[in-house]
């Protein structure tokens, strides 16, 4: 599920439900989602402290805890952050539950446990975790973006998916962006001319803006991604049967008629 827009939604959940509140209790229901920290240390470092203002970079979400450490959340393919009340029934995939002041809970829910929750000791450790990521997809400027494309030989979709190049775009967003920009996902990035590169950038901005409003890539029938699970998918723009292939191991869908 989670790409940048979903994580932005989780950031808002943390901001509205958690910020400024004290963590009364940390319940680790499945330690399999903890990365580089054990349940005991997590409880010791987090319980009794207040949650700070959450910050998102790409698909990573960082929550300062008190004046020292920070919780760093990554949601993999199936993770989410859910606001709940203390009496709400638990979901079987609720892996970590923070109980806050006022009977509120924040629940890290994740079926597949492909990623997880980290505890950074302080700002330097947060920086270290973010160091491998490129600029956030919502923050990068057009000039930098066009230059990024010009420097890469590989498929343009592969570049967009590469979190160390630009952070936050996932498989669905990339297909949607390239369809809007009318660019074939397998084109070498550096083969795009200036106008095409600018179209990709503009499409990225628009797709992200709309998706962030919905806190997800919306399943609209007017979007390419609203059709990818159809048994015989056709382009919502021109009706041509869609093609699909694999790029960097990910299923890739595009329209052979309106993307070039």
Partner DNA sequence: ATACCTCCCTGTGGGC
Partner DNA sequence: TGCCCACAGGGAGGTA
Catalytic residues: 2-3, 59, 250
Per CB under 7 A, the list member of 41, 112, 142, 260 interacting with DNA is 112
241 interacts with DNA by CB under 7 A: no
Site string for DNA, 72-91 (x = CB under 7 A): --x-xx--------------
**What is the total residue count of the chain?**
260
Site string for DNA, 158-197 (x = CB under 7 A): x--x-x------xxx----------------x--------
Tell me the C-alpha distance between 19 and 14, whole Å: 6
4 touches 173 (CB < 8 A): yes
Closest to DNA by CB, 105 vs 211, is 211
Minimal distance, residue 77 CB to DNA, in Å: 4
CA 96, 172, 197, 239: dihedral to nearest 10 degrees?
Answer: -160
Give me the residues paired with residue 27 across strands: 97
69 interacts with DNA by CB under 7 A: no
Per CB under 7 A, the list member of 31, 226, 250, 257 interacting with DNA is 250
226 interacts with DNA by CB under 7 A: no
Give me the residues paired with residue 205 across strands: none
Q: CB count, 10 Å around CB of 80?
A: 20
Extract the tokens encoding 87.
């009496």
Neighbour-count burial of 202, counting CB atoms closer than 10 A to its CB (0-12 exposed, 13-18 middle, 19+ buried): middle
Closest to DNA by CB, 105 vs 171, is 171
Per CB under 7 A, the list member of 11, 56, 57, 59 interacting with DNA is 59
Binding to DNA (CB under 7 A) within 191-220 occurs at: 216-217, 219
Q: Assign residue 131 a region (left: φ > 0; alpha: ψ between -120 and 50; beta: otherwise).
A: alpha
153 interacts with DNA by CB under 7 A: yes
Q: What SS3 class is residue 237?
A: coil
20 interacts with DNA by CB under 7 A: no
Neighbour-count burial of 217, counting CB atoms closer than 10 A to its CB (0-12 exposed, 13-18 middle, 19+ buried): buried
Closest to DNA by CB, 159 vs 255, is 159
Interface positions with DNA (CB under 7 A): 1-3, 5-6, 32, 58-59, 74, 76-77, 92-93, 111-115, 132, 152-155, 158, 161, 163, 170-172, 189, 216-217, 219, 247-251
């Amino acid at each position: 599920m989670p790409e940048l827009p979903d994580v932005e939604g989780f950031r808002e959940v943390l901001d509205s439900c958690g910020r400024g509140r004290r963590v009364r209790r940390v319940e680790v229901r499945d330690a399999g989602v903890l990365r580089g920290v054990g349940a005991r240390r997590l409880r010791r470092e987090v319980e009794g402290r207040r949650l700070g203002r959450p910050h998102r970079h790409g698909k990573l979400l960082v929550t300062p805890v008190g004046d020292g450490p920070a919780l760093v959340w990554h949601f993999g393919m199936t993770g989410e952050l859910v606001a709940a009340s203390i009496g709400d029934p638990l979901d079987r995939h609720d892996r970590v539950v923070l109980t806050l002041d006022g009977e509120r809970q924040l629940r890290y829910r994740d079926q597949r446990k492909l990623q997880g929750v980290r505890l950074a000791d302080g700002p330097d450790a947060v920086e270290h975790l973010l160091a491998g990521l490129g600029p956030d997809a919502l923050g990068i400027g057009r000039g930098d973006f066009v230059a990024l494309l010009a420097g890469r030989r590989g498929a343009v979709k592969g570049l967009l998916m590469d979190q160390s190049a630009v952070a936050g775009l996932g498989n669905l967003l990339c297909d949607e962006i390239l369809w809007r920009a009318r660019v074939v996902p397998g084109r070498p990035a550096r083969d795009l001319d200036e106008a095409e590169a600018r179209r990709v950038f503009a499409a990225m901005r628009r797709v992200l803006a709309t998706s962030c409003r919905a806190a997800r890539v919306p399943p609209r029938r007017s979007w390419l991604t609203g059709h990818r699970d159809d048994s015989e998918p056709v382009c919502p723009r021109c009706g041509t049967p869609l093609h699909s292939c694999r790029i960097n191991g990910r299923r890739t869908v595009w329209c052979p008629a309106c993307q070039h």
